[in-house]
A and B are shown apart, each in its own frame.
Chain A
Amino acid sequence: MTIDLNFSSDQEQIHRSAQQFFRAEVPPELVRRYRSGREGEEEFARDLWKQMAELGWLAMPFAEAHGGFDAGVVDMYPIFLELGRSLAPVPLLETVILAGGLIAGLGSGAQKDRHLGAIARGEAIYAAALGEDIASHGIAPTSITARGNSLSGTVPLVSYAGSADFLLVLADDQSLFLVDRTAPGLTLEAQPNIAGMPLYAVTLADVPGEQLGGNAQAVVEAVVAKATVLQAAMVTGAGSRILELSTDYAKTRTQFGQQIGKHQAVQYRVTDVAIDAHNTGLLALHAAWAIDAGRPFLRAAAMAKAASSRAAARMPEAGHEVHAGIAFMIDYDLQLYTRHCKHWEFSLGDRRTSLEQVAALPA
């Protein structure tokens, strides 16, 4: 064993399958259909989700008893790389990694059998309402209080809550609950947003929940860290597509009688994208390895998150500078990445939150 940053042959195989699948099944039109922010539109592509269940991808990180093979974060990395590159409108991170990870980490045998089985088969969608560190501006308090098994409060930005069958809700005493999304007292308020993501403010008024395990803090911290790393893989994948669009455009667009890619000012902006995508991928791969190797990983994951938030902000900016007018048009695909990158920049903690985590954890 020695230093090696290449995927194993099994991971290469997973990567090739993911490449083929997402490139064939997720054309930009599909992304447009689900991410236009139109009211009444489906939140995710159910056909795609069904196919991913058949491929076994929804069960991969679970134990064998639940249809998986205990896949590590590095095993999942290539799937998320390609998912991010395609912008596939599916709740893989939310349902499998976040909710599935929490149930696998805290659930009883019966809870795992029921819920992980449903996730693995693609039968049910789960959303995670773990709370966000937000700047309040006079709106309702956002923490969830638990009295016994009765939950009250509001969580502001919950992805896929509209199509979820169950929500995982973290109370402010760090206890975690499974909540039936159709339970009385649970209301959703859609949050129109730049990415056209299905985001909701979820309000609970004495809603009954089913508790998972005891103090959930450590498990939540680890599962969220894992999710931020795989989200950074998605940002890296999206970056590879932004880089490809920008490089292709710089090679083909001519002005002043030559390809604009000959101008070093343009080359600079293209290489900005390459550097950000590369560094985010490197930090994410390192954190993924640390998790799988059983090493301390919270600092590595926070660094990957901080880098991915910055890359998510900067890569579309550089892409737009290279493209100028054409990418400002709604029919051009770059804007799909611009919008979704903004979601990733803030989702699971913004840059400030992750940098504060880095500062708080010893080197």
Chain B
Amino acid sequence: MVDFCADDTPQLKAWREEVRTFLQTELPNGMHFDFDFEEDPDRWAECMDFWQKVGRKGWIALTWSPEYYGLGRSAAEHWILQEEFAEYGAPVYPIIGMQVAAALLRHGTHEQRRRHLKGIAEATVLWGEGYTEPQAGSDLASLTTRATLDGDEWVINGQKTFGTAAHMAPWMFVLARSDPQSSRHKGISAFLVPLDAPGVTMLPMHNIANGRQNATFFDDVRVPKDCLVGTPGNAWNQIWFGMGGDSLMNGAPGPDHWYARMTRTLKLLRRFVAEGTRGGRPLSDDPIVRLQMAELEVEVETARLCGFEMHSNVVTGSPRAGSHIYTINLQQAYIKELYTRFAQGCMDVMGPLAQVQHGPWAPMAGLIEQQYRAAFGNHAGGTSQLKRMTLATRGLELPR
């Protein structure tokens, strides 16, 4: 039955209040922080300090089993928590750890879960991602990093690129080809790799939005046999496509994280419009600005509703628009293209000062200028072109 409300019971309403009170207490002044576009160590420390407080409440692992540091709470409670965090503008939890957790909770061994989930649940151990390679970006299935079994160890050789936050992380979640005879997605396995292992080298790659990504080289890096997650050669189905690519959210997706960023920015932009003037007239009376703002409002609302749809599809197991692959690729194509359009739309509202980064002339302390640059990071998790091609060929069954 159609319902866009997660908290229809007094218990869930009380839970929402509890989350809201926590945020008001722990982040009284808010925190505009994007883990993938931030290098300042003090700001990182501040963010992780906040997330460790969340971790101590048990809220990072809210839905996980108590056996693995979780609270065993419902998908609805998870949604409410994520929704409150998004509406409050709290920093998004560095997403790769959550992907590792989702993979381990589904396909990890008891020992792997006991060993790794604690650090993720407490926000004390960050994870880097080792998916993309120089010659395997959109075409991830063509990756060539090799993992060879030698006695009780896997030996990893190859190169990963564009690794977000990997330099902050002691561990990396690495996709590598474990069957040399295999081609494409068959024969790819997932590994939990300690980045202090001999043979690992990392070089910085600075992005245009103030963040650091990394090139990571693996030269005869030996990891114990039990670093493999799931069954050999099945990472594609078990870990990647099995859960819909980049929405690996442990069976209870929250609001889209790009939505969370846009709604945070839009709130500040509304205030800018309410207070600003142009040509002696309040911006809020300018019919062009009003239409521009309304366009942004409609699109960000659409992105918000996409989160409800994804949650409903996963939790009820009944994809509204036919299939999971159809919905996720459609939503991702839309939201990724929206993200850059949104950033430009904010600049259109703001006018010439939108280009200024710092100082008294910079509106919103240069936030829109930085968000505009950050918007070109919308390829993370796959480009919008890739999402459209997948929507066309797998969702609509157009020929390949």
Contacts and interface: CB of A to CB of B under 8 A. Distances in A.
Interface of A: 1-8, 11, 74, 243, 247, 250-251, 258-259, 261-262, 264, 266-268, 270-271, 274-275, 278-279, 282-283, 285-286, 288-290, 293, 300, 303, 306-307, 352, 355-356, 358-359, 363
Contact of A282 (B76, B287, B294, B305): B305
A251 B399 CA distance: 7
B398 A355 contact: no
B5 A3 contact: yes
6 contacts: A3-B4, A4-B312, A7-B1, A267-B398, A270-B392, A286-B305
Contact of A2 (B3, B306, B318): B3
Interface string B371-400: 000000000000001001101110111111
A275 B338 CA distance: 12
Contact of A271 (B293, B301, B333): B333
Contacts of B391: 271, 274
The 8 closest A-B pairs by CB, nearest first: A267-B392, A1-B8, A261-B398, A355-B294, A359-B290, A358-B294, A8-B1, A5-B312
Interface of B: 1-6, 8-9, 74-76, 79, 270, 287, 290-291, 293-295, 297-298, 301-302, 305-306, 308-309, 311-313, 315-316, 318, 320-321, 330, 333-334, 385, 388-389, 391-393, 395-400
Contacts of B79: 2-3
A3 B311 CA distance: 7
B396 A270 contact: yes
B398 A2 contact: no
Interface hub of B313, B391, B398 (most chain A Cβ within 10 A): B398
Contact of A355 (B2, B298, B301, B321): B298
A282 B388 contact: no
Contacts, number: 145
Contact of B5 (A74, A251, A293, A307): A293
A182 B312 CA distance: 51
Given A247-B398, A267-B398, A278-B330, A6 B320 contact: yes
Contacts of B398: 247, 250-251, 259, 261-262, 266-267, 270
Nearest to A280: B302
Given A6-B320, A258-B399, A283 B302 contact: yes
Interface hub of B3, B321, B330 (most chain A Cβ within 10 A): B3
B81 to A, nearest CB: 13
Contacts of B396: 243, 247, 270-271, 274
A288 B333 contact: no
B334 to A, nearest CB: 5
A355 B309 contact: no
A363 B330 contact: no
A243 B391 CA distance: 13
Contacts of B1: 4, 6-8, 11
A266 B400 CA distance: 12
Nearest to A362: B270
Contacts of A6: 1-2, 312, 316, 318, 320
Given A251-B397, A264-B388, A356-B287, 13 more contacts: A4-B2, A4-B3, A5-B4, A6-B2, A258-B399, A266-B398, A279-B302, A290-B4, A293-B3, A303-B297, A358-B294, A358-B297, A358-B298
Interface hub of A247, A251, A268, A282 (most chain B Cβ within 10 A): A282
Contacts of A3: 3-6, 76, 79, 308, 311-312, 315
Nearest to A262: B399
A223 to B, nearest CB: 21
B9 A74 contact: no
Contacts of A307: 298, 302
A275 B299 CA distance: 12
A355 B287 CA distance: 10
Contacts of B297: 303, 358-359, 363
Contact of B76 (A2, A11, A358): A2
Contacts of A266: 398
A267 B312 CA distance: 28
